[in-house]
Amino acid sequence: MLMYDIISKKRDGYELSAAEIDFWISGYTQGVIPDYQCSALLMAGLLQGFTKQETLAMVESMIASGERIDLSDIEGIKADKHSTGGVGDKTSLVVMPIIAAAGLKVAKMSGRGLGHTGGTLDKLAAIPGCYTELTTAEFKQQVREIGIAIISQTAKLVPADKKLYALRDATATVDSLALIAASIMSKKIATGADILALDVKYGSGAFMQNLADSRALAQLMVELAQASGIKAVAVLSSMEQPLGLAIGNALEVKEAAAVLTNNGPDDLRELSLTLAAELILLAGLAPDRAQAVDLARQQLTSGAALAKFRQMIAAQGGDTDFSHLPVSPLVVEYRARESGYLTAIDARKIGLAALCLGAGRQKKEDVIDPAAGIILRHKLAERVETGEVLAEVHCRTQQQFAAAREILDDAFALAADIPETAPLISDIIS
Query: By C-alpha distance, which of 232, 146, 130 is closest to 191?
Result: 232
Residue 26: burial class (beta carbons within 10 Å; 0-12, 13-18, 19+):
middle
Nearest to ligand URA of 184, 196 (CB atom) = 184
Catalytic positions:
82, 161, 168, 183, 187
Residue 345: burial class (beta carbons within 10 Å; 0-12, 13-18, 19+):
buried
- 348 Cβ neighbours under 8 A, 6+ residues apart: 87, 116, 204, 205
Residues 163 and 199: beta-carbon distance below 8 Å: no
Site for ligand URA in 206-265 (CB under 6 A): 207
Instruction: Give the Cα separation of 312 and 315 in Å (integer).
Output: 5
Query: By C-alpha distance, which of 399, 408, 409, 412 is closest to 358?
Result: 399
Instruction: Give the Cα separation of 5 and 181 in Å (integer).
Output: 25
Would you count residue 183 as binding ligand URA (CB under 6 A)?
Answer: yes
Residues 394 and 329: beta-carbon distance below 8 Å: no
- 423 Cβ neighbours under 8 A, 6+ residues apart: 238
Q: Candidates 179-187, 344-352, 367-375, 400-408: pick the segment binding ligand URA (CB under 6 A).
A: 179-187
Minimum distance from CB of 207 to ligand URA (Å)? Answer: 6
Strands (E), 228-380: 231-238, 246-247, 330-335, 340-345, 373-376
Minimum distance from CB of 164 to ligand URA (Å)? Answer: 8
Nearest to ligand URA of 361, 377 (CB atom) = 361
Minimum distance from CB of 217 to ligand URA (Å)? Answer: 9
3-state SS assignment for residue 224: helix
Q: Candidates 127-135, 180-188, 230-238, 306-314: pick the segment binding ligand URA (CB under 6 A).
A: 180-188
Minimum distance from CB of 181 to ligand URA (Å)? Answer: 8
Site for ligand URA in 372-401 (CB under 6 A): none
Site for ligand URA in 134-173 (CB under 6 A): 165
Given 180, 245, 293, 411, the residue binding ligand URA (CB under 6 A)? 180
Minimum distance from CB of 4 to ligand URA (Å)? Answer: 26
Minimum distance from CB of 111 to ligand URA (Å)? Answer: 7
Would you count residue 283 as binding ligand URA (CB under 6 A)?
Answer: no
3-state SS assignment for residue 378: coil
Residues 191 and 80: beta-carbon distance below 8 Å: yes
Minimum distance from CB of 184 to ligand URA (Å)? Answer: 5
Instruction: Give the Cα separation of 97 and 340 in Å (integer).
Output: 39
Size of the site for ligand URA (CB under 6 A): 7
Instruction: Give the Cα separation of 138 and 130 in Å (integer).
Output: 15
Query: By C-alpha distance, which of 203, 197, 192, 179 is closest to 282?
Result: 197
Q: Candidates 178-186, 315-323, 366-374, 404-412: pick the segment binding ligand URA (CB under 6 A).
A: 178-186
Given 77, 126, 184, 359, the residue binding ligand URA (CB under 6 A)? 184
Nearest to ligand URA of 142, 183 (CB atom) = 183
- Closest-approach residue to ligand URA (CB): 183
Nearest to ligand URA of 179, 282 (CB atom) = 179
Helices (H) and strands (E) in the chain, counts: 16, 13
Nearest to ligand URA of 114, 408 (CB atom) = 114
Site for ligand URA in 86-125 (CB under 6 A): none
Nearest to ligand URA of 174, 227 (CB atom) = 174
Would you count residue 29 as binding ligand URA (CB under 6 A)?
Answer: no
Nearest to ligand URA of 208, 273 (CB atom) = 208
Q: Given the rule CB under 6 A, which residues bind ligand URA?
A: 165, 174, 179-180, 183-184, 207
